[in-house]
């Protein structure tokens, strides 16, 4: 490593150390990548080594090298905690030893594969919950994840790559991050690394290149990753966190978003995720999810599957940071306009089917259409964002 690179790593380590020392709760730092193979684990291990050199008590809580020689070479000097064995269906499986980390109480712990689902019987169902627990215990965590694992991006990632990413993390975890680093490489460089066998087993390379690792897919994922980091920086400027100077109250955004959903599972999910992204992008003061239950949607009139989907969608909204509002009213439009006024909403997010064309749908009767007509006769400064499904 050149002297310039060493200086850069020292500066990064010193800055993170200042954050660690300034807080009672643990500090959270996230290395974000566009896809596997960009070098997130390598960068985390470099920082762990630098912190260790500064006399910080660092522990490698869980590291997944995937057998990559350059990553394995970074496993030096910094203590590595043995993995915990959990028996499941007659097999001994390895997981991160969360209790062991809490007992040793390092200043900083390295936790790889943030979106990982733990083996049943573990302390938590998801590794991101392990990280939340450790941070709450006052232990600072450096972790890594790819952008396609963000809950609010699920629908976009599915459209971009055709891959249904099942292991996801709530956006609120990244919103709590004190630092986020975009581990960026060019699309050409990443595909070259894949072809050279530095990411996957050679037998898997042709399939990966033809599907998830298509150049167009990677370009769009790269854009999402850059945008995510930029939004965190924007939030830090707004709030004065992460060492950034706070913006005066007069300049802060006071937008309040109100997402209107019904028991339609697919539409509600898309509306919730889209509103989450809008609220994040606008640095909104608050956002709400409103479900108006009519007399036709009481528990004895809708199926168990519909009820289950509705509860899951409301849980999703909570995980993404929304406040849930449930009202009973047969006048859906009246209920929406009343709640929008009570919450001083500045933007309504509603769904509309894309069947037979958007303009054709707008010309027909329906709740969204009636809502548009009703709002046209009010004097409130309220915009509407339509989500097609």
Residue 249 pLDDT level (bands cut at 50, 70, 90): very low
Quick one: pLDDT at residue 265? 86
What phi and psi, each to the nearest 5 degrees, are found at residue 292? -95, 115
pTM of the shown model:
0.74
- CATH number of the domain that residue 279 is part of: 3.40.50.620
Residues 203 and 340 in one domain: no
Residues 41 and 190 in one domain: yes
Q: Say if 247 falls within a structural domain.
A: no
Residues 221 and 340 in one domain: no
Residues 131 and 258 in one domain: no
Sheet harboring 256-261: ordered strands across? 323-328, 286-293, 256-261, 347-352, 383-388
Residues 46 and 143 in one domain: yes
Quick one: pLDDT at residue 281? 81
Spatial CA neighbour of 23 closest among 127, 160, 176: 176
**Final residue of a domain: which of 205, 239, 273?**
239
State the Cα–Cα distance between residues 71 and 93, nearest whole angstrom: 23
Phi-psi region of 195 (alpha: psi -120 to 50; beta: other; left: phi over 0): alpha
Residues 184 and 321 in one domain: no
State the Cα–Cα distance between residues 255 and 251, nearest whole angstrom: 12
State the Cα–Cα distance between residues 100 and 117, nearest whole angstrom: 19
Quick one: pLDDT at residue 365? 57
Residues 235 and 270 in one domain: no
CA within 13 Å, CB half, 294: 11
Number of domains in the chain: 2
**Final residue of a domain: which of 178, 205, 239?**
239
- CATH number of the domain that residue 104 is part of: 3.40.50.300
Q: Say if 372 falls within a structural domain.
A: yes
Tell me: pLDDT of 3 over 80: no
Residue 79 pLDDT level (bands cut at 50, 70, 90): very high
Q: Say if 268 falls within a structural domain.
A: yes
Quick one: pLDDT at residue 170? 92
Q: List residues bridging with 84 in a β-sheet.
A: 95
Tell me: pLDDT of 149 over 90: yes
Q: What is the mean pLDDT of residues 346-367?
A: 67
Domain hosting residue 295, numbered range? 253-388
Q: 321 and 234 in contact (C-beta within 8 Å)?
A: no
Q: Where are the alpha helices (DSSP H) in 98-179?
A: 98-104, 127-136, 154-161, 171-175
Q: Say if 248 falls within a structural domain.
A: no
Angle in degrees, CA 325, 331, 332, rounded to 5: 45
Quick one: pLDDT at residue 360? 46
Residues 30 and 145 in one domain: yes
Phi-psi region of 283 (alpha: psi -120 to 50; beta: other; left: phi over 0): left
Residues 232 and 272 in one domain: no
Sheet harboring 140-146: ordered strands across? 58-62, 108-111, 140-146, 28-33, 179-183
Q: Say if 103 falls within a structural domain.
A: yes
Residues 146 and 266 in one domain: no
| Residues recorded for the chain | 389
Quick one: pLDDT at residue 248? 47
Tell me: pLDDT of 138 over 60: yes
Q: 258 and 349 in contact (C-beta within 8 Å)?
A: yes
**Final residue of a domain: which of 239, 262, 283?**
239
Residues 226 and 308 in one domain: no
**Mean pLDDT for the chain overall:** 86
Q: Say if 335 falls within a structural domain.
A: yes
Q: Which two tokens stand for residue 364?
A: 């027909």
Residue 75 pLDDT level (bands cut at 50, 70, 90): confident
Residues 333 and 232 in one domain: no
Quick one: pLDDT at residue 172? 87
State the Cα–Cα distance between residues 59 and 140, nearest whole angstrom: 10
């Amino acid at each position: 490593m050149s002297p310039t690179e060493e200086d850069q790593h020292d500066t990064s380590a010193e800055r993170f150390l200042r954050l660690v020392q300034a807080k009672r709760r643990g500090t959270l730092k996230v290395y974000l990548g566009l896809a596997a193979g960009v070098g997130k684990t390598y960068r985390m291990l470099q920082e762990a080594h630098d912190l260790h050199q500064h006399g910080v008590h660092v522990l490698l809580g869980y590291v997944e090298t995937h057998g990559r020689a350059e990553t394995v070479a970074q496993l030096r000097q910094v203590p590595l905690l043995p993995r915990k064995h959990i028996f499941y269906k007659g097999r001994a499986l390895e997981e991160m030893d969360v209790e062991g980390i809490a007992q040793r109480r390092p200043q900083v712990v390295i936790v790889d594969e943030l979106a990982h689902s733990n083996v049943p019987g573990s302390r938590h169902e998801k590794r991101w919950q392990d990280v939340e627990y450790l941070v709450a215990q006052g232990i600072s965590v450096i972790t890594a994840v790819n952008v396609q694992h963000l809950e609010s991006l699920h629908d976009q990632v599915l459209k971009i790559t055709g891959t249904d990413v099942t292991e996801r993390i709530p956006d609120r975890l990244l919103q709590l991050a004190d630092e986020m680093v975009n581990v960026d490489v060019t699309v050409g460089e990443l595909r070259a690394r894949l072809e050279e066998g530095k990411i996957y087993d050679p037998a898997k390379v042709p399939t990966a290149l033809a599907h998830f690792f298509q150049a167009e897919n990677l370009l769009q994922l790269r854009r999402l990753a850059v945008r995510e980091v930029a939004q965190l920086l924007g939030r830090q400027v707004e709030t004065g966190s992460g060492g950034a100077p706070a913006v005066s109250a007069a300049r802060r955004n006071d937008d309040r978003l109100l997402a209107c959903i019904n028991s339609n599972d697919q539409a509600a999910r898309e509306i919730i995720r889209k509103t989450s992204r809008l609220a994040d992008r606008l640095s909104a003061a608050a956002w709400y999810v409103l479900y108006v239950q009519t007399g036709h949607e009481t528990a004895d009139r809708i199926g168990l599957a519909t009820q289950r989907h509705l509860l899951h969608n409301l849980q999703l909204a909570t995980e993404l940071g929304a406040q849930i509002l449930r009202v009973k009213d047969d006048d859906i439009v009246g209920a929406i306009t009343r709640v929008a006024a009570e919450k001083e909403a500045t933007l309504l997010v509603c769904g509309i089917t894309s069947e037979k064309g958007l303009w054709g749908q707008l010309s027909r009767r329906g709740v969204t259409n009636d809502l548009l007509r009703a709002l046209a006769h009010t004097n409130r400064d309220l915009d509407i964002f339509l989500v097609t499904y």
